[in-house]
Amino acid sequence: MGLSVNVNPGGAAAFQTASGGKVYGYNNIAESAAIPVAPASPSRVSIIFHNPGTSDIFVAPATVQNTLGTVPTTKQTNTALTLTNAALGGSFLVFGNGGVLTVTGECQGAWQALAVTGAGSTNPLTVMDSNI
Q: Which amino acid is at 121?
A: S
Asked if the structure places residue 14 within a domain, the reply is: no
In a domain, 13, yes or no: no
3-state secondary structure of 131: coil
Give a yes or no: residue 2 inside a domain: no
Q: Enumerate the β-bridge partners of residue 33.
A: none
Q: At 42, phi and psi to the nearest 5? A: -65, -20
DSSP secondary structure of 18-77: --S-EEEEEEEE-SSS-EEEE---TT--EEEEEE-SSS-EEEEESEEEEEES-TTS-EEE
Does some domain include residue 18? no
Tell me if 9 is assigned to some domain. Answer: no
Predicted model pTM: 0.81
Residue 8 domain-assigned (yes or no): no
The predicted structure's pLDDT at residue 58: 98
Bridge partners of 58, per DSSP, are: 93, 114
Does residue 12 lie in a domain region? no
State how many domains the chain has. 1
State the pLDDT at residue 75. Answer: 67
Q: What is the pLDDT of residue 10?
A: 45
Q: One digit per residue, pLDDT tens: the chain, 132 residues?
A: 444 444 444 445 544 555 667 999 999 999 999 999 999 999 999 999 999 999 999 999 999 987 665 555 566 778 899 999 999 999 999 999 999 999 999 999 999 999 999 999 999 999 999 998
Give percent above pLDDT 90 in the chain.
72
Peptide bond into 72 cis (omega under 30): yes
Is residue 121 one of the residues assigned to a domain? yes
Q: In CATH, what number is assigned to the domain containing residue 121? A: 2.60.120
Which residue range forms the structural domain that includes residue 103? 24-130
